[in-house]
Amino acid sequence: MKFNLMIAGVGGQGTVLASKLIAAAAMKNGFDVRTTETIGMAQRGGSVFGHVRIGENIFSPLIPPGEADLIIGFEPAETVRQLSYLRGEGTVITCNKAVSTSGTNGMYAVSEMLNYLKAKAPKLILIDGDRLTGQNAKTLNVSLLGAAAQSGLFPFEAQKILEVLPEVLPARFLQMNLDAFETGRRLCQ
């Protein structure tokens, strides 16, 4: 079994944390895991994407183009930017709310990005960003993990992510992230 996951976002959205949570949950389930992150700009707002590879005989942490089983996008433009990594029958879960302004003069046309994703992603799950971030925009990453877990897209149960949250997060951030995970799960029921 091999499972390749790409996480796409911008600096400050918790892309690196999301990769760590998924990797920790997979290892807790007995899988071999390789991860790496690519950071486009060393500041908030630059492209950040993470590769998470789960399974046997995985020697490189980098996902080859066309081999991601799942792309989780924290915002539409960054999701589009990583779409070439998706395999033919792969799934995309993305927030429908724009965050990125990198490379633009202000906010971009979200509808154009969403229409592109609808045309190019064979399996697309759009998540209402306003509903996810209603309480706290800093937990969007964990909310989207909850949505992916509820959709049954990970090679392990959602409970494994819940188990690693207290191991990875400082206690003062735990409850808000547990709540965010459950919000994401509810939105995908």
* Cross-strand partners of 33: 54
Whether 110 and 96 have beta carbons less than 8 Å apart is answered as yes
Q: Which CATH superfamily is domain 2-187 in?
A: Pyruvate-ferredoxin oxidoreductase, PFOR, domain III (3.40.920.10)
pLDDT at 25: 96
According to the model, what pLDDT value does residue 97 have? Answer: 84
Higher pLDDT, 133 or 84: 84
Written in H, E and C, the secondary structure of the chain is CEEEEEEEEECCCCHHHHHHHHHHHHHHCCCCEEEEEEECCCCCCCEEEEEEEEECCCCCCCCCCCCEEEEEECCHHHHHHCHHHEEEEEEEEEECCCCCCCCCCCCCCHHHHHHHHHHHCCEEEEECHHHHCCCCHHHHHHHHHHHHHHCCCCCCCHHHHHHHHHHHCCHHHHHHHHHHHHHHHHHCC
- How does pLDDT run across 41-86, given as a tens digit for each residue? 555 667 889 999 999 888 899 999 999 999 999 999 999 999 999 9
Convert the pLDDT of each residue in 11-36 to its tens digit. 888 899 999 999 999 999 999 999 99
156 has pLDDT over 90: yes
Yes or no: say if 44 and 77 are a contact pair by the CB < 8 Å rule: no
- Phi, psi angle pair for 81, to nearest 5°: -60, -30
User: What does the pLDDT read at residue 77?
Assistant: 92
Q: What value does the mean pLDDT take over residues 126-132?
A: 83
Q: Would the pTM count as exceeding 0.85?
A: yes
The confidence band for 179, taking pLDDT boundaries of 50, 70 and 90, is very high
Given a contact cutoff of 8 angstroms between Cβ atoms, the answer to whether 23 and 145 are in contact is: no
Predicted pLDDT of residue 107 = 65
pLDDT of residue 14: 87
Residue 172 has φ and ψ, to the nearest 5°, of: -70, -20
Provide CB contacts within 8 A for 88, sequence distance 6+: 66, 122
